Chains A and B, each alone.
Chain A
Amino acid sequence: QSTMKLASATINDVQHEWQKEFAKEMAARVGDAVTVEIYPASQLGAIPRMSEGVLLGTIEAFTTPTSFMTNVDGRFQAFDLPGLFLDADEVAAVIHDAEFRDYLETLFLDKGLRVIGAIYNSPILLLSREPVADLDAFQGLKVRTFASPLQMEPMKMLGANPTPLALSEVMPQLQSGGIDGMLAGMPILTAFKFHDAAENVTDLNLSQLVSLTLVNEIWFSEQSEEIQDAIRAAGRAAEQTVFPWGVQNVERANAAWTEAGGKINSLPEAQQVAMMQGFAELGSSLIADQSQVVELHDRIFAILQARRGG
């Protein structure tokens, strides 16, 4: 009998939902042979600690947006390229593609990590104090981003001023006007009630957040074959179940946002199309010198092209 601790930074979102579904699926398959314990809301430490934890086996599994794993392996960037996915269905088409999913499961084994869940999370939006309804409004805008070129360079391209900032400082700085906006997914914005600090959101479609559940491979390989199969099957079943839940969760979050007095703006159609094209070109150029990332990106892109063409 073994214990499987599942950690994540958030709560009551699609990552948490996947973990709950996974626990149910596991119980149905192997009963109490594996005790699945869920620790949402960073209860086992901040994101870098959870990432180290799953790498070293102090926690068994960690559900996280790929963008928080890029310092472990550059290939995690491939999902975060600006302009790569147009919508949730495109993400689903890739991560639930049978062949790609098999490839993804073992892709990070050289880092001691196995992918047991691939989850559509949410699109990245711009939250801002003032409405941003056309490209001119980006000029000089101080936007909080991750300290990653995949977020900073697109902001620079639009004329904004990307400003990485520690998470604990974002809310007070947003309230006082020290920064003008930030990049985030809508479920995060509504969960933390960001509308009290800034009420405008622009649907940039910059990128689609993909979350993965990573399991420590050493722990995994110590399990019996039956349990290994159960974990793999439970993870895949859970990700199928939570995909519609996740899409609806984004819609629920959007509705909650407007209900709380927030506004959702969009750019004029022509500008949006031009921007997406710019993002896509920028995205490819940002990874050009990393052949492994390019390889993964090309696989993703091939699936998308086949789908778009058909």
Chain B
Amino acid sequence: MTIGPPLAGLVRLESLLVRAIRLCLGVGLIAMVALNVINAIGRYSGMMSLVGADELLVYGMIWIVMLGAILAARDRDHLSINLLPAGLSGTAATALRLFIDLVTLIIAGFVAWHSAAFIERIAMIGQTSMGLAVPMTVPHAAIFVGFAGIALVTAVLLAADLYKLVGKAETRT
């Protein structure tokens, strides 16, 4: 089977996006280490206190967690107890995987939906953070982006698996 040009383009775009997110994660963590060290040195020496450094570090961590969670979902690499999946094979394994993907899709979509509602309301109120005075929508949006992203990549995985399953059934008949 060959993939048509539009689909190939999408695949290329996706792999580009994944690489960009990976780079963000690595560079982000290194930047957090640097900020943490500079802040501690500044405070101990009494030269400077970076107001809001603690917020920046925590919000950075939250974004890293949620972006990383999308990639982990894409690779089906989230922490789980792998006893049963490892013991199954063939159609049973595929069926189980489909079921798990379906539950993941539903719950991630459910959280993303309510997350969006929350963010909309917090934006209306105009709450800002204590130290940096950034709108609280900025850190909160990480949760929405993360779960919406998990829902999206899981939907794609689910569709791909279903397509394969149907294909198999057709070749058999």
Please tell me if B130 contacts chain A, counting CB pairs below 8 Å.
Answer: yes
Question: Do A146 and B130 form a contact, CB below 8 Å, given A163-B43, A163-B49, A164-B49?
Answer: yes
Count chain B residues whose beta carbon lies closer than 8 angstroms to a beta carbon of A: 18
Please tell me if B75 contacts chain A, counting CB pairs below 8 Å.
Answer: no
Please tell me if B89 contacts chain A, counting CB pairs below 8 Å.
Answer: no
For the complex, give the distance between the alpha carbons of A111 and B48 in Å.
35
Question: Do A56 and B121 form a contact, CB below 8 Å, given A142-B43, A163-B43, A166-B54?
Answer: yes
Please tell me if B3 contacts chain A, counting CB pairs below 8 Å.
Answer: no
Chain A positions within 8 Å of B, measured between CB atoms, are 48, 51-52, 55-56, 70-72, 111-112, 140, 142, 146-148, 152, 161-166, 178-179
Closest Cβ–Cβ distance, residue A58 to chain B (whole Å): 9
Contact of A147 among B127, B131, B136 (CB under 8 A): B131
Question: Do A148 and B130 form a contact, CB below 8 Å, given A163-B43, A163-B49, A178-B43?
Answer: yes
- The interface centre, meaning the residue of A70, A140, A146, A147 with most chain B CB atoms within 10 A of its CB, is A147
* Known pairs A48-B136, A146-B130, A178-B43 / 7 extra A-B pairs, C-beta < 8 Å: A51-B127, A52-B127, A55-B122, A55-B127, A56-B118, A56-B121, A164-B54
Residues of B within 8 A of A111 (CB): 125
Residues of A within 8 A of B125 (CB): 55, 72, 111-112
Residues of A within 8 A of B127 (CB): 51-52, 55, 71-72
Closest Cβ–Cβ distance, residue B125 to chain A (whole Å): 6
Contact B122 A56 (CB under 8 A): yes
Chain B positions 51 through 82: 1 when the CB is less than 8 Å from some CB of chain A, otherwise 0: 11010000000000000000000000000000
Closest Cβ–Cβ distance, residue B139 to chain A (whole Å): 10
| 7 A/B residue pairs, CB under 8 Å, sorted by A | A71-B136, A72-B127, A147-B131, A161-B49, A162-B49, A164-B49, A166-B54
For the complex, give the distance between the alpha carbons of A180 and B128 in Å.
29
Residues of A within 8 A of B51 (CB): 147, 152, 164
Closest Cβ–Cβ distance, residue A218 to chain B (whole Å): 11
- The interface centre, meaning the residue of B52, B54, B125, B130 with most chain A CB atoms within 10 A of its CB, is B130
The residues in B between 125 and 172 inclusive whose CB is less than 8 angstroms from any CB of A are: 125, 127-131, 133, 136
Residues of B within 8 A of A165 (CB): 43, 54
For the complex, give the distance between the alpha carbons of A163 and B133 in Å.
17
Chain B positions within 8 Å of A, measured between CB atoms, are 43-44, 46, 49, 51-52, 54, 118, 121-122, 125, 127-131, 133, 136
For the complex, give the distance between the alpha carbons of A37 and B121 in Å.
25
For the complex, give the distance between the alpha carbons of A102 and B46 in Å.
46
Q: Which residue of A lies closest to B53 (CB)?
A: A164
For the complex, give the distance between the alpha carbons of A56 and B120 in Å.
11
Residues of A within 8 A of B52 (CB): 147, 164
Residues of B within 8 A of A163 (CB): 43, 49
Q: Which residue of B lies closest to A68 (CB)?
A: B130
For the complex, give the distance between the alpha carbons of A227 and B142 in Å.
39
For the complex, give the distance between the alpha carbons of A179 and B46 in Å.
10
For the complex, give the distance between the alpha carbons of A57 and B52 in Å.
28
Contact A71 B54 (CB under 8 A): no
Residues of A within 8 A of B44 (CB): 178
Contact of A161 among B46, B54, B130 (CB under 8 A): B46
Q: Which residue of A lies closest to B125 (CB)?
A: A55
Closest Cβ–Cβ distance, residue B8 to chain A (whole Å): 45
Closest Cβ–Cβ distance, residue B73 to chain A (whole Å): 26
Residues of B within 8 A of A164 (CB): 49, 51-52, 54, 131
For the complex, give the distance between the alpha carbons of A166 and B127 in Å.
20
For the complex, give the distance between the alpha carbons of A162 and B46 in Å.
9
Residues of B within 8 A of A162 (CB): 49
Residues of A within 8 A of B131 (CB): 147, 164
Contact A71 B122 (CB under 8 A): no
